[in-house]
């Protein structure tokens, strides 16, 4: 008797599972996420990409899901590590498209990995709103991959922002005319230095020191000593995360304390402010956000509550915004049909945590933050190509 | 060279297997195709690696250097208006030249010195490319072509056929014989009048040229080429692991390692995306402790046991 009961229960359970299976599947949107968890870009991915994937999924599901033509659909994230290897990114996106049959796929992390996987997004018709792809070939890329969008801007704008900020400081009589410029000898550092040189000269600055150092250099004292000996009014380093920290440290040791001190990637990381504390005050860096805006403050609080870490003051918010755009497009199109969602993205403007987004003729967001500055423990945007909320840059007063 | 009956058998069998492999895209399954490309790529790299390292026992970690060189050759070539097909032989020549230079400088080294040098080589070439970019102010390169994954797959298969034919021909030639003697005892080889440096350099050139061509073929797939991606040291390690896992004693040995490893890697990447590095470490341990001669060793000792049992029966 007891055994029969047990069988009955098992049978009922089987039937119930069989019934609920397909129903549950229909109410869930499968969203693919591919990014580096190992390899050279794993550090950046852990600050900027993965926490935002987690936060966005959490936000969406807490609100009851995405509204698809009247049906609320929860999102389920399928994560893959691409090992910072384009071959693996391609395979993972391919796997998401054909094996997991993901409804949508979030754009990967990093310029090279985004571009490598663009043909796969294109082949399966997935819209691709990139958040961390910086390229000067956006026109070519968007021509070849019409579903590819760009949020973070380009090197020319980032370099131009620095020149503008320094020009304003000079015109205000805060700094003089001489600039010491160094760059990390790797893709992005080279591109920025190349873009900055003519712009500095056109703005009437004199580059009194111009040098580069290899990627992964541990001892940055020759670079900093060379810059200090040129006695510049402004120091500009087109640097990567490890050397951004190294240069700042070395500048304090060597007593390089110009009125304008700029380091590029990772200056906007919360860990930069945490490490240098009061000494970070007045340091300029790549990126920036409208840090005093309610949208960012609210986002930062949720980011910390859900993921346990603070967002960075540059690409974090655009990464989240790119997911928001996808979400709004699905709701706007009222369907999970990829072509309809892609069309909705192309034809509409979006309101995100970084403000309104409109696309230019190359599917690119033309208004992005270029320079920020640590002011009172927060990295505030001081220059952009048309965003609201910039504060005035202030001269740096030593390292104390 | 006279062909025996068993030679014809193996050539026919290989041709049939290749023809079957070439039909993979006809299934229309793009996911299978992307795995197929990975297998074909590593099969060519591991086999050409084993052509040199198998008989000589010189462990080369320079695959990434040649691969990256090929990638850059195609990227720079296409940017300067060259036809894609022209860049492949150029890459092969550059790969062979680099291998010859390296060989002249280092093949007198042996053991761990050679391993470390080849690992450093990939880094050296990468730094030179980066320096070139820094001086010229040019960053990542874009390879925008109309070449699809199917084309890349078929190209790799053709290259695989060429590598197997080359390996087979070398195995039967005086060069192959010389290399086997070098592998057993280099001193003896030299005393027998074999020009050991020449033999090793020739083989290293074949291996380097092949890896360079593979890099060329993969460039249109990556589209965006930058030094960190093209010269990744991980590639060199994976090639060595797969080749050793299969076994370098036979021409088909590396393939027997590449296929299960790639499929396992794929399964791990799909199910436990955070554990791929662990798999790599475990494979190392398995090779060292359980499979010192790879799957080839396992298969052949299995065969021998079968034969012995038959003899007793």
Contact A353, A324 (CB under 8 A): yes
Chain B residues in contact with A39 by the CB 8 A cut-off are 234
Would you list the domain boundaries of chain A? 10-154+293-357, 155-292+370-384
Give the domains, in start order, of chain B with CATH numbers: 5-312 (1.10.3470)
In B, residues 121-140, which contact A (CB 8 Å cutoff)?
127, 130-131, 133-134, 137-140
- Grade residue B303 by pLDDT with cuts at 50, 70 and 90: confident
Instruction: Select A155-292+370-384's CATH number: 3.30.470.20, 3.40.50.300, 3.40.50.2300, 1.10.287.110.
Output: 3.40.50.2300
Residue A4 has a pLDDT of 47
**B3/A45: higher pLDDT:** A45
What CA–CA distance (Å, rounded) separates B174 from B180?
A: 10
**Nearest to residue A363, comparing CAs of A101, A118, A18, A85?**
A118
Q: Rounded to 5 degrees, what are φ and ψ at A352?
A: -125, 180
CA distances from A285 to A317, A393, B40 (A): 16, 11, 45
Suggest the residue from B136, B150, B228 to mutate for an interface test with chain A (most A CBs closer than 10 A).
B228
d(CA B305, CA B9): 24
pLDDT at A15: 42
pLDDT at A14: 44
Asked if the domains A10-154+293-357 and A155-292+370-384 are classified in one and the same CATH topology, the answer is yes
Q: A280, A272 in Cβ contact below 8 A?
A: yes
Q: Are strands A284-286 and A350-352 parallel, antiparallel or unpaired?
A: unpaired
Rounded Cα distance, B106 and A26, in Å: 62
On whether the A10-154+293-357 domain is CATH 3.40.50.2300, my answer is yes
Q: What ipTM was predicted for this assembly?
A: 0.75
Q: DSSP alpha helices (H): ranges in chain A?
A: 2-26, 42-44, 50-62, 86-98, 111-124, 138-144, 155-171, 187-202, 221-229, 241-254, 270-276, 294-307, 316-333, 338-347
| pLDDT score, position B137 | 65
Q: What share of chain B is helix, strand, coil (3-state, %, to 5)?
A: 80, 0, 20
Per-residue model confidence as pLDDT tens digits over B148-197: 889 999 999 999 999 999 999 998 898 888 888 888 888 888 888 888 88
pLDDT at B1 over 80: no
Asked whether the beta carbons of A32 and A50 are under 8 A apart, the reply is no
Q: Which two tokens stand for residue B138?
A: 């040019």
Q: When comparing pLDDT for B205 and B228, which is higher?
A: B205
Report the pLDDT value the prediction gives residue B179, as an integer from 0 to 100. Answer: 86
Mean of per-residue pLDDT scores for chain B: 87
B15-71 pLDDT, tens per residue?
A: 888 888 888 888 878 888 989 999 999 999 999 999 988 888 888 999 999 999 999
In this prediction, the residues of chain A whose per-residue pLDDT falls under 50 are 1-25
Which of A112, A124, A214 would you mutate first to test chain B, the one with the most B CBs within 10 A?
A112
Nearest residue, CB atoms, B224 vs list A38, A115, A190: A115
Instruction: Please return the burial class of B224, using the count of CB atoms within 10 Å of its CB with bins 0-12, 13-18 and 19+.
Output: buried
> What proportion of chain B, given as a percentage, has pLDDT over 70?
97
Q: Which residues 6+ apart lie within 8 Å of B106 measured at CB?
A: B113, B114, B117, B118
Mean pLDDT (whole number) for B111-137: 83
Q: Say whether A108 sits in a helix, a strand or coil.
A: coil
The lowest-confidence range among A150-159, A286-295, B103-112, B124-133 is B103-112
> Which residues from A are below 8 Å from B when comparing CB atoms?
37-40, 79-81, 83-88, 90-92, 94-95, 97-99, 111-112, 115-116, 118-119, 123, 137, 140-141, 144, 183, 185-188, 190-191, 193-194, 212, 214-215
As a whole-number percent, the residues of chain B with pLDDT over 90 amount to: 33
């Amino acid at each position: 008797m007891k055994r029969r009961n047990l069988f009955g229960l098992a049978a009922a359970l089987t039937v119930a599972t069989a019934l609920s299976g397909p129903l549950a599947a229909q109410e869930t949107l499968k969203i693919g996420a591919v990014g580096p968890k190992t390899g050279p870009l794993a550090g950046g991915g852990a600050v900027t990409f993965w926490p935002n994937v987690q936060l966005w999924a959490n936000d969406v599901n807490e609100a009851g899901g995405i509204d698809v033509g009247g049906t609320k659909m929860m999102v389920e994230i399928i994560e893959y590590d691409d090992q910072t290897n384009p071959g693996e990114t391609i395979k993972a996106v391919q796997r998401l498209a054909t094996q997991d049959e993901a409804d949508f796929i979030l754009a990967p992390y990093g310029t090279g990995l985004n571009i490598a996987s663009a043909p796969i997004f294109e082949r399966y018709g997935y819209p691709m709103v990139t958040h961390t792809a910086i390229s000067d070939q956006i026109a070519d890329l968007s021509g070849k991959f019409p579903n590819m969008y760009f949020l973070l801007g380009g090197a020319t704008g980032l370099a131009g922002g620095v020149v503008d900020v320094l020009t304003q400081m000079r015109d205000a009589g805060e700094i003089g005319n001489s600039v010491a410029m160094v760059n990390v000898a790797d893709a992005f550092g080279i591109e920025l230095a190349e873009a900055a040189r003519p712009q500095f000269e056109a703005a009437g600055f004199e580059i009194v020191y111009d040098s580069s150092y290899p990627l992964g250099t541990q001892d940055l004292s020759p670079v900093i000593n060379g810059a200090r000996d040129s006695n510049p009014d402004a120091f500009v380093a087109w640097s990567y995360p490890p050397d951004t920290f190294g240069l700042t440290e070395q500048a304090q040791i060597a007593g390089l304390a110009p009125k304008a001190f700029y380091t590029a990637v990772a200056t906007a990381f919360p860990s930069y402010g945490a490490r240098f504390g009061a000494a970070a005050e007045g340091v300029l860096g790549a990126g920036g956000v409208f840090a005093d805006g309610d949208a960012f403050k609210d986002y930062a609080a949720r980011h910390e509550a859900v993921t346990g870490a603070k967002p960075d003051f540059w690409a974090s918010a655009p990464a989240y915004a790119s997911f928001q755009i996808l979400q709004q497009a699905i709701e706007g199109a009222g369907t999970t049909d990829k072509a309809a969602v892609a069309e909705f993205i192309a034809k509409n403007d979006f309101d995100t945590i970084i403000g309104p987004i409109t696309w230019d003729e190359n599917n690119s967001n033309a208004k992005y933050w270029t320079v920020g500055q640590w002011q009172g423990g927060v990295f505030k945007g001081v220059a952009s190509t048309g965003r609201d909320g910039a504060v005035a840059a202030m001269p740096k007063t030593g390292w104390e | 060279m006279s062909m025996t009956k068993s030679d014809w058998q193996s050539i026919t069998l290989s041709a049939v297997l290749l023809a079957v492999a070439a039909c993979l895209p006809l299934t229309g399954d793009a996911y299978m195709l992307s795995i197929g490309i990975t297998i074909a790529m590593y099969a060519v790299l591991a086999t050409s690696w084993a052509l040199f390292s198998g008989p000589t026992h010189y462990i080369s970690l320079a695959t990434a250097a040649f691969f990256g060189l090929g990638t850059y050759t195609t990227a720079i070539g296409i940017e300067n208006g060259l036809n894609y097909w022209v860049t492949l032989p150029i890459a092969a020549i550059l790969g062979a030249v680099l291998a010859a230079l390296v060989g002249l400088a280092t093949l007198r080294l042996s053991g761990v010195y050679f391993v470390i040098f080849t690992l450093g080589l990939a880094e050296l070439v990468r730094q030179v490319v980066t320096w070139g970019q820094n001086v010229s102010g040019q960053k990542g390169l874009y390879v925008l072509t109309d070449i699809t994954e199917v084309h890349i797959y078929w190209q790799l298969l053709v290259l695989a056929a060429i590598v197997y034919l080359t390996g087979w021909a070398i195995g039967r030639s005086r060069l192959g014989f010389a290399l086997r003697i070098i592998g057993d005892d280099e001193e003896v080889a030299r005393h027998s009048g074999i020009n050991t440096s020449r033999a090793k350099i020739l083989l290293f050139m074949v291996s380097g040229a092949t890896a360079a061509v593979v890099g060329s073929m993969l460039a249109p797939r990556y589209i965006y080429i930058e030094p960190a991606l093209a010269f990744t040291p991980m590639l060199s390690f994976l090639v060595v692991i797969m080749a050793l896992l299969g076994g370098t004693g036979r021409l088909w040995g590396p393939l027997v390692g590449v296929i299960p490893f790639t499929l396992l890697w794929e399964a791990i990447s799909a199910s436990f995306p955070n554990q791929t590095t662990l798999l790599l470490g475990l494979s190392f341990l398995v090779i060292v402790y359980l499979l010192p001669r790879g799957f080839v060793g396992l298969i052949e000792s299995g065969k021998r046991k079968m034969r012995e049992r038959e003899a007793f029966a």
